[in-house]
Amino acid sequence: MLEFTIEPFTEGNPGPHVRAAVAAVEALGVSVEFGPFGSSCTVSQAQVARVSGIIVAEAFSHGATHVSLHAERVGERS
């Protein structure tokens, strides 16, 4: 599971830096659980690096000042 927070944060109004990162991940066919203080998605181990890179690249290229990313293995080991 990848959990990510993209700043600057404006409650109830995610900026283009947030929307672009989420849209890029969803374009890969990955479902994003969009939350008020952060978002998350579950990907295969093989996808972790690619999806993480896309989140960071899209966020920064659209004006983010900070990206926090947390990766956690869930479920069965692969």
Query: What is the per-residue pLDDT across 48-76, written as a single tens digit (0 to 9) for each?
Result: 999 999 999 999 999 999 999 999 999 86
pLDDT in the model for residue 21: 96
| pLDDT of 10 over the 90 cut | no
Reported confidence tier of residue 22, pLDDT bands at 50, 70, 90:
very high
Burial pattern 7-44, b for ≥16 Cβ within 10 A else e, equals: eeeeeeebbebbebbbebbeeeebebeeeeeebbbebe
pLDDT in the model for residue 32: 97
**Domain residue ranges in the chain:** 2-71
Q: Which class in CATH covers the domain with range 2-71? A: alpha beta
Stretch 10-14: mean pLDDT, rounded? 83
